Amino acid sequence: MAYKPRTESEELMILRLLDTRMTLSEKDIQHYYRLKKGYEGEVMFDSLTEKLQCECYILNDLLFKVNNTMFQIDTLIIVSDTVHFYEVKNYDGDYLYEIDTDTLYKRPKKEYTNPLHQLNRSESLLRQLLQNIGYNFPIEAQVVFINPMFTLYQAPLERPFIFPTQVKSYLEKLDKVPSKLNRNCKTLADKLISLHIDKNPYTTFPLYEYKGQRKGLICELCNSFSIYVHGKKCVCGDCGHEELVSTAVLRNVREYMLLFPNQKITTNDIYDWCGGVVDSKKRISRILDRHFKIVGIGQWAYYE
Ligand SMILES: [Zn+2]
């Protein structure tokens, strides 16, 4: 299991919610799809690194600041006194590599950012970071192309690329490297986790307000708004998924809190947010009572 597991970023969660409840601009949708696809690729890679049996520390999804510069690492593995790190790319389709200019194109001719540039930058920053905290581990940096539908024409041999057909054998080889973790490795892993920045301060979100959001309960499986209440359960009219009313309401409260962190939680607001699908405010307030602390009384009461 990963020593530091990966979770969906707040940015991705918020964009997904906004995409369901409002119409995003074309630019924001593209950004959202890019993030989502990237995340899916990273999760795909995680499902393979999880199988490593060797003694190692796997740290997923790290964000650091060194000498006033921020950089992000998709996957970092400490094994046998070496820090391996990976830039995971979920590209699919046919790409072409121009060696003379180190440029990557999606065929026929759309230029892409060469992940190698990002990798080199991160490697240099990670080296500075390790030096700053007094560790002198060798670093091995690689780009992992995880999507089985990815092809790179004219792929240069000497670049640190791991292709979809090589990921498994690469990890098998890594697994066989004799590795004994010492205290030093653990303190490094802990130190890196403590330096990780949870929220990227440079993240910007599309402008949105409460008014512009479609109200209603959302199915957790298919994102549909066609939810009706049947006894203790919410049933999705599209996919048939059932969920306890209380669970569904709490999930939607958490989403509300994520989108509007400065808003107080009141029964009326949550009733409105759920679009009247749960047709009694009493029922909403019973659910909130059980899971939150009530502050104040009567019409001024809110939940924390
Ligand atoms: Zn559904």
Position 166 scores a pLDDT of: 97
109 pLDDT exceeds 90? no
Exposure on the CB side of residue 169, measured as CA atoms within 13 A: 5
Residue 303 has pLDDT above 90, yes or no: no
Asked whether residue 111 falls in the same domain as residue 257, the answer is no
| pTM, two decimal places | 0.90
Q: Give the mean pLDDT of 101-111.
A: 92
| 261 and 113 co-located in one domain | no
- Give residue 228 CA to ligand 1 midpoint distance, Å: 11
Percentage of residues in the chain having pLDDT higher than 90:
87
Would you say residue 110 has pLDDT above 80? yes
Distance 206 CA to ligand 1 centre (A): 26
Ligand 1 center to 271 CA (angstroms): 21
Q: Give a yes or no: residue 262 inside a domain.
A: yes
pLDDT of residue 279: 84
Q: Do 115 and 80 belong together in one domain?
A: yes
179: confidence class by pLDDT, cuts 50, 70, 90: confident
Closest CA to 237 of 221, 249, 253, 250: 221
Specify the CATH number for the domain of residue 142.
Answer: 3.40.1350
The 10s digit of each residue's pLDDT in 63-86 is 999 999 999 999 999 998 899 999
Per-residue model confidence (pLDDT) at position 293? 85
| Cα(297)–Cα(299) distance, integer angstroms | 6
Shared domain check, 223 and 180: no
Same domain assignment for residues 124 and 266: no
CA distance 241 to 221: 7
Looking at the fold, whether 167 and 216 belong to one and the same domain comes out as no
Name the CA radius of gyration of the chain, rounded: 23
pLDDT tens-digit series, residues 197-219:
998 888 999 999 999 999 999 99
- Separation of CA 218 from chain center: 21
Q: Do residues 59 and 109 lie in contact, with contact meaning Cβ atoms separated by under 8 Å?
A: no
Residue 241 lies in a domain: yes
Give 290 Cα–ligand 1 centroid separation in angstroms: 26
Looking at the domain assignment, is residue 142 inside a domain?
yes
Report the alpha-carbon distance of residue 88 to residue 290 in Å, rounded.
42
Is residue 173 situated within a structural domain? yes
The answer to whether residue 4 sits within a structural domain is no
Q: Are 61 and 96 members of one domain?
A: yes
Domain boundaries, position 246? 212-303
Specify the pLDDT at position 300.
72
Distance in Å, CA 211 to ligand 1 centroid = 24
Q: Is the residue at 5 inside a domain?
A: no
Number of domains in the chain: 2
One domain, residues 138 and 248: no
Q: Inform me whether the pLDDT recorded for 273 exceeds 80.
A: yes
CA 77–ligand 1 middle distance (angstroms):
38
1 domain residue, yes or no = no
133 & 277 share domain: no
Q: Determine the pLDDT at residue 241.
A: 97
